[in-house]
Amino acid sequence: MSITPEKRNGLEFLDLPPEVCSAEELEGSLADIRVVNRYLGDRRALLKHLSAKIDGKEAVTVLDVATGSADLPVAIAEWARKKGIGIAITGVDINDRSIEIARKVAAGYPEIKLRTADGLDLPFPDRSFDFVLCSKTMHHMKDPEAIRLIQEVLRVARRGYIVMDLRRSWVAYALIYILTRIFTKNRMTRYDGPLSVLKSFTAGELARLASRAGAASFTISKEPFWLLVLSGDIR
């Protein structure tokens, strides 16, 4: 058996119309994602790559595309407070219910603003934000949509961008399958988590998508717990 499974294209619960899942199921699934982001490296990887792009204590603006429940903007805000960095973060998500949940998670962080918006058609002028982020969203898309997402990220970024997603492997699939059976009963998490791994990327696949989107200069980094980070600067 190959160590890398073939890429799948099935629909996850998060890809279906909102009425398919209850508000309670969505809130539970997003809570599970927050736990994964905290303990399986997403926050660490994001802050590692973002901090490398920020010089000193200058004030910066950040856009988080497909923000979910805004736990990554909260992590960035907490980091910036500790570093004494002025920061204004905008989080957008296409799902109105996710934004409602995000407003509860981000309460107490006035530096975070939230609104509903489509990552494939961002309602912002070119070069609107210093840094643009997107985490674990591209694997929900077919290649043309993924390319469009990267193009939108490149369009609205003024200084740099970070796009994170999963790295496809049988080991990652087995780990997520086991963890979702042990730590949650949420049907969305149990179904979407393992499938997300099978829909995700190799480093070469992610690099090809970035090149097709017109990214002129970028790096692909492998981070712990099977994360891939596409990172680049705007020239």
Residue spans of the domains in the chain: they are 13-166+203-233
pLDDT tens, residue order, the chain (235 aa): 567 999 998 999 999 988 889 999 999 999 999 999 999 999 999 999 999 999 887 899 999 999 999 999 999 999 999 999 999 999 999 999 999 999 999 999 999 999 999 999 999 999 999 999 999 999 999 999 999 999 999 999 999 999 999 999 999 999 999 999 999 999 999 999 999 999 999 999 999 999 999 998 899 999 999 999 999 999 8
What top-level class would CATH report for the domain 13-166+203-233?
alpha beta
For every residue of 126-193, DSSP letters joined together read TT-EEEEEEES-GGGS-HHHHHHHHHHHHHHEEEEEEEEEEBP-HHHHHHHHHHHHHH---HHHHHHH
